[in-house]
Structure 1
Amino acid sequence: MTLILTRSTIRTLLADQVEAVEAAVARAHRDLAQRRAVLPVPPAMQLPGGDGTFVAMAAASAPDRLATVKLLADLPGNRAAGLPVQRSAVLAVDAETGACAALLDGAELTRVRTAAATAVATRALARPDATTLGLVGTGPLARAHARALLPGRPYDQVVLWGRTPEHAHTLANWITAELGVPAKVLDDPRAVTEAADVLCTLTPSREPVVRGAWLAPGQHVNAVGAPPRPDHRELDTEAVVRCRIVVDAYDTARTKSGEVLVPLAEGALGEDDFRTELGDVLTGRAPGRTATDDLTLFDSVGVGLQDLAVARMLIDLARERGTGIPVDLGA
């Protein structure tokens, strides 16, 4: 039987699983570094005359006994119609039998696994005495990041900014009330950047919102929000060049990340400057932060293996709790 897991079911299943999701995502990156998982470069498909992109994000894992593909639709034209710009669904099959194990809505899964990857990278790369978390962007991804990064961490405060002040104040109030960390809204991205020890950029921007001149030695930056397109980025070239760069997966970043591809095209970066993957740092194969005054950057494009890791969790949890919609696709 194939389990259908809707967005509301996924949200319920993951509500008390923040630490478990982070652990699953960390393990997935270690598996990739140790060649226990496969992560091909996702093909991007565009229809003639359209501005939309369809990305097939595949992965397979021996430890998780799954092969998955998430079909991501990135449709900028949806914004004018009041529809989500990005939509996705994940198909998971049993790696041993080929049976279709589950079909999962991708929205909540993607937000949670993206925030978990940021939490993994931050734990590995940020200074242990970091006390101020900065968020540039105030949408659902920002809320997911606050939930993933704050519990159990030594942050004294959160500073944030968003294009819509009402949304920014709503997020700040939620962080203070629900997560117990004081949060305040600042005037602009520069103020947030200059105040933060750990900075997360969480906007769908095509053009830089953070400048290298604003960064200070010792900071850690997570560049998360830009869509997986080679000309979209949230950090300018100076910001990227100043940092020690860690990517989620080199082959994917080399084709999808404007954060590194724009500086590469400008001749400001070489390919060796962004070859270090998160799994390499987690397994000790490559250094992350080497000194307290290092500037570190986690360039998060998002990869299918993260989807697979969380899909494995969700399938197991759904079966344990007797939830989800079972369907016999072969009937």
Structure 2
Amino acid sequence: MSERASESSAGRILSDDDLAGLVDTDALIAAVRAVHVDEALGRAVQPVPMLTSTGPDTVLLPMIATSHRLGLTAVKILTDARGNGPGDGPAQQSTVVVLDARTGTRRAVLSGGRITRERTAAATAVATDALARPDARVLGVIGAGPLAVEHVAALRRVRDLHEVVVWSRTAERVAEFRTALRKREAADGVPAITVRAADSPRAAVQACDVLCTVTPAHTPVVEGAWFHPGLHVNAVGAPPRPDHREIDSAGMARATVVVDSREIQLAKSGEVLLSIADGSTTPEHFGVELGAVLAGQAPGRTSREEITLFNSVGVALQDLAYAALALDLGP
């Protein structure tokens, strides 16, 4: 057991600080890839979570997944309180409970903030590796918070990136991103990547080979009219609300879309639901899951010119993959 972790009748309890540096990024990418393949092959399950309103502007999303291969169940309790003020904590907060899948015994309780950032970036790396062109060299990032830094670190593991083009609403945020990225690069022992600020979201999109949108947007910040042949897009940041999205309907319609979970996307992804509602797409447009692509059951990118898009809502299997590594509960 980690010396930093505590133990109680609830099993091990790990805070965000306990989890810092505990999980290797390459190992996490491999673990997230494996659980998506497991789901495609029937070795894992995750039901559609039920979104519940718990306050005037707060929703609760309990996310559950079981891996038969790992013998574990993860229950993630996520709240999204977009009205939170400075004294209320971040808008999104979460806790992950890990259970023995057979006996129901609690194995651990983990703070979900770091888990969410790291497993989300790992899933994006898995999707990028499966869908982006092999010669992708320029990464575009819309948004400049901690999730953006995590994405750069993860995507450098799957593509030989030479430059990051980043857009944020303020120059101060871009400067903070650059500083945080340099600290992360030093910790990872990798050379500093070139960082260039874009003067608009459109400029960032048009300059890159791979795009990550990592903003809590309510209305689209990226338009499909800006997409160019060969682009791969990772739509990551929108919160789990059916009326929030970062990519407009034209973007969803133009791209070959791969999702992390079709059923969950059709229940809570604004990108999916709003583009269906206005007639730009149909549910069939979102029928290909990442696990099926990884397992060879469905095609990914089929040409250099194709525009591909991974729509990420985040699923509990990814949290479970992280927890298994952090707790050393792998097979």
Equivalent position to 1:53, from 45, 48, 59: 59
Task: Determine the C-alpha separation between the residues in 2 that align with 1:296 and 1:200.
Answer: 12
SS at match of 2:22: helix
Equivalent position to 1:139, from 97, 120, 145: 145
Give 5+ residue unaligned stretches, structure 2: 1-8
Residue-by-residue CA offset, 1:216-238 (whole Å, 9 max, x unaligned)? 01000000000011110000111
Tell me the amino acid that sits aligned with residue 131 of structure 1.
R
1:26–1:84 distance in 2 versus 1, CA, 3 Å: same
SS at match of 1:272: helix
Tell me the amino acid that sits aligned with residue 287 of structure 1.
P
Task: Determine the C-alpha separation between the residues in 1 that align with 2:140 and 2:215.
Answer: 13
Residue-by-residue CA offset, 1:270-304 (whole Å, 9 max, x unaligned)? 11110100001001101110000000000000001
Equivalent position to 1:30, from 31, 37, 56: 37
Contact 1:5 1:104 in 2 (8 A): yes
Q: Percent identity?
A: 48
SS at match of 1:93: strand
Equivalent position to 1:159, from 162, 165, 189: 165
Give 5+ residue unaligned stretches, structure 1: 320-331
SS at match of 1:147: helix
The reply to whether residue 240 of structure 1 matches residue 252 of structure 2 is yes
In the alignment, what sits opposite 2:6?
none
Contact 2:136 2:159 in 1 (8 A): no
The reply to whether residue 169 of structure 1 matches residue 178 of structure 2 is no
Equivalent position to 2:323, from 290, 296, 311: 311
TM-score norm. by structure 2 comes to 0.92
Tell me the amino acid that sits aligned with residue 4 of structure 1.
I
The reply to whether residue 4 of structure 1 matches residue 13 of structure 2 is yes
SS at match of 1:4: strand
Residue 97 of structure 1 and its aligned partner are, at CA, apart by: 2.0
Residue 174 of structure 1 and its aligned partner are, at CA, apart by: 4.4
Residue 150 of structure 1 and its aligned partner are, at CA, apart by: 1.4
The reply to whether residue 105 of structure 1 matches residue 114 of structure 2 is no
Task: Determine the C-alpha separation between the residues in 2 that align with 1:267 and 1:166.
Answer: 39
Task: Determine the C-alpha separation between the residues in 1 that align with 2:27 and 2:193.
Answer: 22
1:218–1:152 distance in 2 versus 1, CA, 3 Å: closer
Mean alpha-carbon deviation: is it higher for 117-126 or for 305-314? 305-314
In the alignment, what sits opposite 2:5?
none
Tell me the amino acid that sits aligned with residue 256 of structure 1.
K
TM-score norm. by structure 1 comes to 0.92
Task: Determine the C-alpha separation between the residues in 2 that align with 1:82 and 1:184.
Answer: 34
Task: Determine the C-alpha separation between the residues in 2 that align with 1:30 and 1:79.
Answer: 40
1:1-331 counterparts in 2 under 5 A?
2-14=11-23, 17-47=24-54, 50-79=56-85, 81=87, 83-151=89-157, 153-175=159-181, 178=185, 179=190, 180-316=192-328
Contact 2:129 2:159 in 1 (8 A): no
Residue 173 of structure 1 and its aligned partner are, at CA, apart by: 4.5
How many residue pairs match? The answer is: 315
Aligned-residue Cα RMSD (Å) equals: 1.5
Residue 261 of structure 1 and its aligned partner are, at CA, apart by: 0.7
Residue 156 of structure 1 and its aligned partner are, at CA, apart by: 1.4
Task: Determine the C-alpha separation between the residues in 1 that align with 2:269 and 2:91.
Answer: 18
